[in-house]
A = this chain, B = another copy of it.
Amino acid sequence: MADQSTDTTTPRAAITRRRLLGTAGATGLALGAAGGAAGYAAAPAEKSAPLTSLGADRVMFHGKHQPGITDALQARGHLVAFDLAAGAGRKEAAALLRRWSTTAERLMAGEPAAHDDTDVARDAGPSSLTITFGFGHSFFSHTGLENQRPDALDPLPDFSSDHLDKSRSEGDLWVQIGANDALVAFHALRAIQRDAGGAARLRWQMNGFNRSPGATAHPMTARNLMGQIDGTRNPKPSDADFDQRVFVPASGDPAWMANGSYAVVRRIRMLLDDWEKLSLKAQEEVIGRRKSDGAPLSGGTETTEMDLEKTDADGKLVVPINAHARITRPDQNGGAAMLRRPFSYHDGFDADGTPDAGLLFICWQADPLRGFVTVQRKLDRGDALSQYIRHEASGLFAVPGGAAKGEYVGQRLLEG
């Protein structure tokens, strides 16, 4: 994992660009950050100005896995899907993935794009930028690569809670962008869009956010817009079976998906007006956890194992039978687990004052049938939370393994 995550050897205190330049080459990170500084260093005003930690934090583009899967949640995110243009096929797709990989590598190092950089990210460091690429079901027919399409990309089943907008679902190509600075993220989004050129046209795009680094004392778990701690039961990279659950094995089937993962993306609107009318007690019974600290209603702290059998004085289950956290527990789903790495979203209000807000749910797994589909089928049959949410868009994407140096993402598929 070390090649994927932000290098924690960087001092968190402010460091000057001069100092970074002076130590360039000492570590991969210093080299990268220095590269970034050098890329934009021509302006006299920037000379020896401090590049603070938030800006200097950098995720590596090259590695076993693509970035943006196991890295810390970022404050700002963009999801964008493209369809190949009429007439564009495998050759144009290969050239596009090559352009996109070059851009991702440069921007994640804090350097400007290779051509026509807009300067929107200028002065800022990479700010933990990650850019992640995936292929949708339709990509394979549009490129004559049907025989390379993984079975895992078979369309998701319908769920009774689905209210899906097809125009904001699926797509040939999917790009996930995350950064701790909104201008760095927007800059990357525009660079990715510009690279698409005549080869692909934008299909849908969504903006999201998470808590800013430093705003909270809880680095592990995040709160969502229902006010609920979210992510407590996420698998941890330290778990023995983490890789097995999240990533396709190196022996990959198909081979080009070695070390890749499958992303399920759902735009889940939260019916906040209804939710907020519930009492705290009612909300906690819907979830099965305390709202304040995420502890199970059966007691303890956030990380305490839930006691599913515990009853109150009246013999009633303390964690109700339809509580969301009970239903989503892996041991209630044949060991199913996925790594959830969401962004919240808020796109304003409907005409009647109802917020268009909720979760850009993104989950990562080695096999969607054993991950998302298993859990969602269970939720579909009796999750107390279901009346307070609405799935409005859906996507399933094959995210290949990380690119080696000199390689681009998806090269093993497109030149295989």
Query: Chain A interface (Cβ within 8 Å of chain B)?
Result: 13, 17, 42-46, 49-55, 75-76, 116, 118-120, 122-125, 127, 180-184, 186, 190, 193-194, 201-202, 205-207, 209-218, 223, 225-228, 272, 276, 291-295, 301-302, 344, 346-349, 353, 355, 357
A53 touches which of B214, B218, B293, B349 (Cβ 8 Å): B214
A186 to B223, CA, bound (A): 12
In the complex, the chain B residue whose C-beta lies closest to that of A183 is B211
A51 touches which of B17, B217, B357 (Cβ 8 Å): B217
Given A202-B353, A207-B346, also A223-B183 (CB < 8 A): yes
Question: Is there contact, CB below 8 Å, between B44 and A181?
Answer: no
Question: Is there contact, CB below 8 Å, between A52 and B181?
Answer: no
By a CB distance below 8 angstroms, the chain B residues around A118 are 226-227, 276
Q: Most chain-B CB neighbours within 10 Å: which of A127, A212, A223? A: A212
Question: Is there contact, CB below 8 Å, between A215 and B54?
Answer: yes
In the complex, the chain B residue whose C-beta lies closest to that of A277 is B116
Q: In the complex, what's the smallest C-beta–C-beta distance from A65 to chain B, in angstroms?
A: 25
A215 to B49, CA, bound (A): 12
Question: Is there contact, CB below 8 Å, between B182 and A212?
Answer: yes
A212 touches which of B181, B207, B349 (Cβ 8 Å): B181
Question: Is there contact, CB below 8 Å, between B193 and A227?
Answer: no
By a CB distance below 8 angstroms, the chain B residues around A355 are 190
Question: Is there contact, CB below 8 Å, between B202 and A294?
Answer: no
Q: In the complex, what's the smallest C-beta–C-beta distance from A129 to chain B, in angstroms?
A: 10
Question: Is there contact, CB below 8 Å, between B272 and A190?
Answer: yes
In the complex, the chain B residue whose C-beta lies closest to that of A82 is B353
A53 to B54, CA, bound (A): 12
22 contacts between A and B (CB under 8 A): A13-B13, A17-B217, A43-B293, A45-B301, A52-B215, A54-B214, A54-B215, A116-B276, A118-B226, A118-B227, A119-B228, A120-B223, A120-B225, A123-B216, A181-B216, A182-B212, A182-B344, A183-B223, A186-B346, A186-B357, A202-B353, A205-B349
In the complex, the chain B residue whose C-beta lies closest to that of A208 is B182
Question: Is there contact, CB below 8 Å, between B276 and A122?
Answer: no
By a CB distance below 8 angstroms, the chain B residues around A272 are 190
Q: Most chain-B CB neighbours within 10 Å: which of A76, A127, A211? A: A211
Question: Is there contact, CB below 8 Å, between B55 and A214?
Answer: yes
A122 to B17, CA, bound (A): 35
A43 touches which of B17, B183, B292 (Cβ 8 Å): B292
